[in-house]
Amino acid sequence: MDIVIRPADPGEYGPLGEITAQAYLQDGFLDFGEDDAYLGELKDVAKRAAAAQVLVAVEHGRLLGGVTFVPEGGPMADLAGPGEAEIRMLAVDRAARGRGAGEALVRACVDRARATAGCVRVVLSSQPTMHSAHRLYERLGFVRTRERDWNPLPELLDLTLVTYELTL
């Protein structure tokens, strides 16, 4: 595998934001399409990088996708509690899917969690329709945690996010 996982460079923030936004848009994961307020969050890689670790998958100099790794709470954590790291906004360019970039990004997050003192678990939220991602998480040993499922915007949407965890 020639895919390299490394921290995102500031010059990659714009392109990674577009890859992430397009992945969510093209796969139908934004209820309001181009008008969805979450689209701005997906594009704002600089904001994520200031509060967490943004990793990218690169192959032969081409940016394939990225993920946000939240090692221990902070403003980017939606779900993580004490002793937990969180994975957020995993996305791979449609043209690069099926080559292992998503799996490599998740594995890199798990490796980082294992290297984080006091971290005993990796958690994540996912939309119920993200079936490919669910298969990936389950293949890597993540298990569903239905008791942690939650709705980020109960006043606006009927969208319950499903949750997974991996005990380290």
Kind and range of the H or E run holding 113: helix 101-114
Mean pLDDT for the chain? 94
DSSP 153: -
The string of pLDDT tens digits covering residues 54-106 is: 999 999 999 999 999 999 878 899 999 999 999 999 999 999 999 999 999 99
Q: How many domains does the chain have?
A: 1
CB-count exposure of residue 145 (10 Å: 0-12, 13-18, 19+): middle
The string of pLDDT tens digits covering residues 49-58 is: 999 999 999 9
CA distances in angstroms from 56 to 15, 20, 67, 113, 153, listed in the order given:
11, 11, 7, 16, 28
**DSSP state letters, 36-74:** -THHHHHH-HHHHHHHSEEEEEEETTEEEEEEEEESS-S
Q: Are 65 and 105 in contact (CB under 8 A)?
A: yes
Where in the sequence is the domain holding 139, given as residue range(s)?
3-167
| CATH number of the domain that residue 108 is part of | 3.40.630.30
The predicted model scores a pTM of 0.94
